[in-house]
Amino acid sequence: MQTASHSPAIVWHQATVTRARRERQNRHKGMALWFTGLSGSGKSTLAHALEEHLHQLGCHTFVLDGDNIRHGLCRDLGFSIADRQENIRRMGEVTKLFVEAGLITLAAFISPFQADREQARALAGRENFVEIYCQCPLEICEQRDRKGLYQKARAGLIDDFTGISSPYEEPVNADLVLNTAELSVEACVTRLADYLQPRVLNITRDAS
């Protein structure tokens, strides 16, 4: 059966307002900052803290948070391997659009599988994608778990829980590794900001 993407009726419409024009207006590049790690490793905390820092600098940002997304766009998905892969596929496509819009997009997802993270990188463009591994031992993540999810998973009340009954594949070539068990949120944000400064910020409005 022919899919919609192959239909001759579907034609890409080229916009006159380009990504480059949006970036010049914003004075920074569009970029995907992809936070990955176990539940409780600090992904969302760091994404929102970094967004606050960037917002105060005048940057145009948006956080895509794993839990928030499952309240809407991905509310039809569960936590099986197939559903996790579809969740990240969708978020990769959304992230690609946000980068094209010239936003610094902070995506915070467990995203447990290396192949899915690589797919998200390919969609956004390798030069537009920063993989940030929030590295934290499982026992520390469990100690931080205010929702009691790990306890429920160990009791068999939650199926397919990453780190307990479902695997997590650690990044092999992350752009940044943050040891969130040892570094404070402030220290992590400083490291992230230092990394982004020469790569993302300070595009002049009259740049070619």
Respond yes or no: is residue 165 known to be catalytic: no
| Strands of the chain, DSSP E | 31-36, 61-65, 104-108, 129-135, 176-179
Rg, the chain, Cα only: 18
The gap between the terminal CA atoms of the chain, to the nearest Å, is 45
The residue among 92, 62, 49 whose CA lies nearest residue 74 is 92
Compute, in degrees rounded to 10, the torsion defined by CA atoms 147, 65, 108, 195.
-120
30 near 100, Cβ under 8 Å? yes
23 near 29, Cβ under 8 Å? yes
The residue annotated as part of the active site, out of 39, 41, 44, 111, is 111
* 91 phi and psi angles, rounded to 5 deg: -70, -30
Please give the positions annotated as active site.
111
